[in-house]
Amino acid sequence: MALHIRHEETERLARELAKRTGETLTAAVHKALEERLNQVERQDTETETKLLAEMRKISTQAAALFRASGETKTSTEMLDELYDENGLPI
């Protein structure tokens, strides 16, 4: 499958990279794309890790607020109060 690059600066960069690394144009582009995808994957993983940490923090804070409220019902009991025996909202 062919890839046509119509952006002169992109083509220049690809050729410069191939020249400096001694790789073929295809190999240079392939490796550059792999490295960029790996970088994006690492960033995605870091973002997910940060989001999970924030969610845990919020969950801990919510649990503390719930305990401090003095409420003794479980979440299941509270939800059961919202629905009748047929599962329909009250």
- Which of helix, strand or coil describes residue 83? strand
Q: How many C-beta atoms surround the C-beta of residue 10 within 10 A?
A: 11
Say if 23 falls within a structural domain: yes
What pTM does this model have?
0.61
Tokens 């003794």 found at = 72
Is 87 among the domain residues? no
Residue-level pLDDT at 2: 87
- Please give the pLDDT value at position 75: 84
Q: Please state the domain count of the chain.
A: 1
Does 2 map to a domain? no
**Domain of 48?**
8-80
pLDDT of amino acid 27: 97
In the chain, the percentage of residues whose pLDDT exceeds 90 is 76
Which backbone phi and psi does 32 adopt, to 5 degrees?
-60, -40
Per the domain annotation, does 44 fall within a domain?
A: yes
